Each structure stands twice: as structure tokens, then as C-alpha cells.
Structure 1
């Protein structure tokens, strides 16, 4: 169903898009670093919440994209378009509700999660969280549009939109942080402007009739309860998986906060750097939703299995090369962040190098492989494994290694590697046994 050229056309723009998506948060961290470690730490705290909500919105978008891809695999373009419209209204409504709750509960939420941080860090967190919350509905709509274009096999649209979003964000950062002196508020406002642009572009492009998925009139919902249930049937398990995963990370972030500003800043820098190699894995995982989803829709499970193996293998190669590069150049990369204490920089380098050593053998089968299972609608299994592994291994072992065994923030990262290993074992067994097959949910 997909030639090598088709896969290249799909994956390369996704890699660029993933790089650009990471650049928004990375640009905020790097450009605001001139304001001091309290500013970096404030953004880092809120970003853990932002990532939680972004992943939930993305999970809902993925649920709709899987159903749309399965319809497209059966050449039922009209049903794919109906499913897309239900996705946009459902996700948009959820995002607006979340944004309102976060704006109203700004100080309460931050105090509940990070009450032990220094006052200056908390002040920066409150400012960044307010402006971030305003952007959630626009970010959710952008994610829906991007997911739908990917399900059509067109990843160039979201790549170009993401490029312009980054230009807006970085230009806004330069103007508002350096020019107007707004600090973390300037970084957040620039991100808000870029996400508004992204949402508008995606919704406009989905109106074009030449698309296989075409939304005619956004003013009238024309709700389809069965399709909404199908979308939520995939989106909710994905959302719970991603949500519980990120909630666990937030709890661990609170543990790291108790170790002081050096640990917070080093963890923030290491997180930013360690996500760079994951660009290729994330892009290939997104491509797998389209490729495997369409194969499953056509009921061609032999091809689905072949594509999963091919794409996971490609992830190992691409991520392995990037991690080797980072292992060698970690000190130089950390120096780019500037204004870091020597203790903070040394700790960041240690975390980055340990991450590369463990990610090379374990990350692809832990995170790219399960996307093939999700594309086949096997979402309950991936949810169960991910939630169990997160809470039992990453969270419990974080407290055991970091606090009770005195390893500090390094113990938190070691617990993460244990989580990866458990996931890898479970997902490989599931894939080999073949129980992920014949679970498609898209119905005529």
C-alpha cells in the first residue's frame, strides 16, 4: 500500500515537524535563560503540565486519525470526513473546558504540585501557566488538523505550518524577552500567537475540497453519536495512557523540585536535549498511525506487520546515530544554554549521557512499536501496560532510588530506564503473539 517513496514523503516532513515542535519549548528555555535559573525553572515546571495536556489533546486527535485512516484504507472518504468533523468539535470543546479550569485554578494547581519551590520560581511559573492556558484550545485544534492531514498521508501541511509557527515564536521571543523585557511572559505570549496561527491555518486548509478528508461547514456540528463514541473509545484510552504518564512525570517533577534549583535546572536542560533524538522516533511513530491504520482498514494484516517491523527498525537506526552524536558532544550542547553554574552543567551532561546509553537499545520498542498496536485499535493493552509501568516502576523506583537511596535526580532517570525495559518486554510479546490484529473499530 505504501512504496518506499511514499514512506519517505510521509516521514521526512514529520521529522522536520517534530523538530520544529520541540523547538518552540526549547527556544523558550534557551532564550529566557538570560533571565536566570529561576526563569528556566519556572518554565520547566509549567512545561510538565503543558506536556500533560498536550498529550491528552494529541491522544484524542490520534483516536480520530486512526478511525479516519481506517476509513481511508477502505476508500470510504465520506465517512472519514464525518469522523474528522466529530473529532474537531469533541477535542475543541474539551480543550476550552481545560483552559478555563487552568486559568481559574492557576495558583492552586501550581501550589498543589510544586509548593516546595522557591518564591521566585513560583512567580515565574504562575505567569507562564496563565498565558499557556490561553493557548490550549488553539493547540488542540492544530493537533486535530495535523493528525487528519497525516492520516491522509500528507505531512507537508503540518510541517510548513509548524515552520511558520516557530518563526512567529522565535521572533516574538526576541521582541518580547529581549526588546520589551517581559521575561517568561514574553516567551509565553509568543507561543500563544504561534498556536493561534497554527489552528487557523489547519481549519482553513481542511475546507479545501481536493482533500480526501474535507470539512464542509464548521458552523453546524451535525454530531454523529456513534462516531464520537468510536473516537472516544480510542481517544480516552490513549488520553488516559498519556495523561497518567504525564501525571506521573509531574509527581516526579515535584520530587526533583525538592532537591533544589540546581537539580531542577539540570533536569530541564537534560530533558530539552534528550528529546532531540526522539524526533525521529516520534515522527516514525506518527507515520505508523497512517500506514498501519490504512492497512488495518483494508484488512491487510500481513502488510501491517511488515510495516511495523520496517518502521521500528528505521527508528533504531536513526535514533542510534543521533544518540551517539549527543554522547560525544554533550558538554558543548549544554554550554549553549549559558549562565549555568558549573555544578548544574556537569549534572546535566551526566543525565544526557546516561539517557543516550539506555535509549539506544530500549526506546524504539518501548514507544514506536506500540503505535503500530494503537493504529490497529489495540489501545486498551497499550494503556494498561503504560499506566502500570509508569506508576510501579518510574514513580515508585524514583522515590526509592532518588530519595531513599540518595541518588537525587539521577535516581529519577534510572527509574525511567527501568520503565522503558518493562514496556519493551510487554510490547514485543504482544506483537509476536498477534493478539493486536482484528480489532479495527471504524464501521461503515
Structure 2
């Protein structure tokens, strides 16, 4: 009996020691004067859940549309590459709002936090209206210019999906702007709830329109509009009626000072230009992938969807670091910002390694969700294996680090670097490897991995200096 109690006491002591060691580790790397590890993880966990749901639901949606055939998958993938290009223009402006809100929050200026939130919602909504109307008016020339070599049935499905999805831009813009402002003040749970409402509504409607009513691409188009505008209504209701921090009123959205708009655009415009060039490069890559045939398009689409699953935790970290670094810079604490950035980079690499170890053995059931032709399964496995290994050291410095630099106000350097490396390596080098040298999809993905390494090295060089935090945004 005595030995039993001795064993239990030793076990309790060991647990206590382990807890103290873990607490010491977290305090050392994830706590500072600006915030501690509990606040950081309270920010991170809702964003992680949000990213998991977004990627998981996109996976389910792609799997559902695959029941309508390889042509439908190809059409949706082609248009979504254009959608990502366009939506990221106003999402970039929303990110500018997140940075400004976070820095004002760090400086404890509540009035300017409220004005920055209002400015973010208004500017993003106006940009999305302009972009949506432009694409609806020019959908025919755009499709024939980018995807004219695709088969007629794929082009017809792409036309329906492009018109319908561009009509929904305002809805998703409002949701993104509100969520961006909420993340800036650290309200990631509210941001999560709004995102979940929109995305779960989208999946539920897809089940009705695609699986039950067999409406294919048209059904997906109807679902995306109802879900995004439903999400926008919920976001605005939360902003005006539920939130007790920002104190926004409807009339605030129609009046905000030009000085505030300039601050938001100081971050937003370079980031929007970066997103246009970055995703424009991806679209150009998509154009020469189209020339490789429908199977190549499907391989790229399914591979990209699965790769996003592997990157869920790291993507959540890249969003969280904007709020963390923004508030550190707003309070003038550069040492905290440096420490947190380094910690996030190491945590991002570890998360990518862990997700790779967990998910690669599950390749067969994951790829089975898409019902792919047997001819492309081996190519998909090779793409994912190489990408999973390469992204561990390169993805964090290529994506988490620029998010941190941008949060400090260093938007021009990050945007110019991303644009140059994208076109020199992912586009030109991808064309050389994939088309000229005949390596195909594998060559395109290898070029993408090389681009991560080059731009990541440039961001590390910038981070070692002082210029990244010397911008005066607020």
C-alpha cells in the first residue's frame, strides 16, 4: 500500500514538473509585455477552427460537384482561380483594415479603432461592387481569353459559374471586412461564428441543389449567392446590434475621413496589387495547364484542394500573426514583435510536419472523396508527397513572415517581392519545366516550390534588418 501511494505521489510530481516545463516554454516563446501565450492562443484557436471549416467545406463542395463529372470539376476550378484573383483584391483591402485596427487597438485609441472598422467595411464593399459589375459585363471575353482552348461543355459551365459567383462578391466582401475588423481587435470567436454561418449555409444548400435537385454548376451558383448574402446580413447585424466594443452605427459606414482611408489603402493597395499579380500568375499557369488536357486540370484542382488541407494550421498562424504583430507595433514594442514572429515561424514549420505525418498515410481515403480517374491517382500522390516535404521549411518564411512584415506596415517591400518572384519563378520557370521540358503538372508544382524558397529567403533578409518596422502607419 505504501509503495502504491509512493508511485501515485511520484506520478503527480512528474505531471506537475511537466506542466511547469510547458508553462515555462510557453512563457519564454509566446509571452511578452504586449500579450501572453493565453491571449495568443485565444486568438489562434478560433481562426484555426475557421480555416479548418473553410478548407474542409471547400473539399466537400469540390467532392460534391465531382459527381457531375470531370468537366464540371474543371469548369469550377478554372473559374475559382479567377474568383480567387478577384476576391483577393478586396480581401487585401480588408487586411489593410485589420492591420490599422490592430495597431490602433495596441495604442488603446478606441475612437480610431471604431473609425478604422467603419472605413474597412465601406471601402471593401465599394470595391467589390465595382469588380463584380465589371466581370459580369465582360464575362464572355474573359473566359475566351483565359480558357478558350477548353472543351465547349466546360466553357458553358464556366460561364454560368462565373456570372453567378461574381454576383455574390458584395456578400463575401462584407463578411470579410467585418471579420477582418473583428480579428484586428482580437474578437476571433465572433469572426469564426460569422464565417461558419456563411460556409455551413453554403454546404447545406449545395447538398440540396447538387445532390437532391441534380442542378450541377447552376445549383452551386445559386447556393453561393444565398450563402454569401445571408452571411453579410448576419455580419452587419452583429456589427450594429450585438457588438459592444466598436459602437458602430449605420451612418458611420457612409462617413469616414480620407485620412483613415489613406491608412487602410497604404497597406491594402500594395497587398491588392500583389494579390492581382500573384493570382494573375496562377491564372496564367492555369492557362497552360488547360493545354495539357482535362486530366491535367483535374489533377491540379484536386492536388491544390488537398494541399490546402495540409496547410490549415499554418494558414491560421499567418492570419493570427497579423493581429499579434499589429498590436505589438501599435504599442511600440519591437522586441515583442521580433520574438513572436520567430516563434510563429518555428510553430508553422512544426505544424506542417505534423499534418504531413498525419495526413499522408490517409491519402487514399482523402483522394477518394473526389472520385478521380484512376489515371491521375499516382500523379496526385507524387505531387502531394513532394509538396508536403518541401513546405515544412519553406511555407512559413514565404507566407507567415510576409503577413508579419505587412502587419508592421512594411507593405511595399512584401508586395514587390511577392510579385517579382511569382512571375519569374512560378510562371516563367513553371512554363519552362511544365511545357517546354515536358514535365507537365509536376514541373509546374516544382517551380511553385522553388518560388517559395526564393521569396522566403528575401523576407528573412528583410526581417534581419530594421526597415520593416520603421513605417509610421498611425
Tell me, yes or no, whether TM beats 0.5. yes
Residues 137-166 of structure 1, C-alpha deviations (whole Å, 9 max, x = no match): 111111100111101111111212222223
- For 2:253 and 2:217, how far apart are their aligned partners in 1? 39
Give the drift of 1:438.
2.2
Q: Does 1:188 align with 2:221?
A: yes
- Asked if the contact 2:119–2:253 (Cα under 8 Å) also holds between the matched residues in 1, the reply is no
State the alpha-carbon separation in 2 of the partners of residues 189 and 42 from structure 1. Answer: 16
Q: Does 1:257 align with 2:302?
A: no
Deviations 1:352-382 (A, max 9, x none): 1121111112101110011110000001110
Gaps of 5+ in 2: 1-33
How far does residue 107 in structure 1 lie from its aligned partner after superposition? 1.7
1:236 and 2:259 matched:
no
Counterpart-to-counterpart distance in 2, 1:162 and 1:321 = 26
Residue 371 of structure 2 is aligned to residue 357 of structure 1:
no
1:20 counterpart residue number? 53
Matches of residues 323-338 of structure 1 in structure 2 within 5 Å?
323-338=356-371
- Determine whether 1:65 maps to 2:128: no
State the partner residue of 2:29: none
Alpha carbons 1:14, 1:283 under 8 Å: kept: yes
- Of 74, 81, 102, which residue of structure 1 is paired with 2:107? 74
Match of 2:68 in 1: 35
Which of the residues 419, 424, 428 maps onto 2:456? 424
Distance between the aligned counterparts of 1:292 and 1:214, measured in 2? 24
> C-alpha distance in 1, partners of 2:99/2:42?
19
Q: Deviations over 1:369-406 (max 9, x none)?
A: 11110000001110111001001111010111011111
| 1:164 equivalenced with 2:167 (yes/no) | no
Counterpart Cα distance in 2 of 1:410 and 1:42: 21
Structure 1: how far apart are the matches of 2:133 and 2:186?
Answer: 34
Structure whose alpha-carbon radius of gyration is higher: 2
Partner of 2:210: 177
Q: What residue number does 2:20 align with?
A: none
- 1:209 deviates by 7.3
- Distance, in Å, in 2 between the alignment partners of 1:440 and 1:206 is 29
Asked if the contact 1:152/1:213 (under 8 Å) is kept, the reply is no
CA contact (8 A) 2:118 2:253 kept: no
**TM-superposed deviation, 1:183:** 0.2
In the alignment, which residue of structure 1 is the partner of 2:345? 312
Structure 2 Cα separation of the partners of residues 287 and 33 of structure 1: 33
**C-alpha contact (below 8 Å) 1:23/1:166 kept by paired residues:** no
Partner of 2:166: 133
Q: TM-score, normalised by structure 1?
A: 0.96
Matches for 1:272-351 after TM superposition, within 5 Å:
272-338=305-371, 340-351=372-383
TM-score, normalised with respect to structure 2: 0.90
Shift of 1:210: 5.3
Aligned-pair CA distance for 1:48: 0.1
Give the alignment partner of residue 206 of structure 1, picking from 219, 239, 252: 239
1:378 to 410, 413, 417: 410
1:96 aligns with 2:129: yes
1:57 deviates by 1.6
The size of the alignment, in residue pairs, is 441
Q: Which residue of 2 aligns with 1:224?
A: 257
Q: Extract structure 1 runs of 4+ deviating beyond 4 A.
A: none
RMSD: 1.4
Distance in 2 separating the partners of 1:334 and 1:280: 20
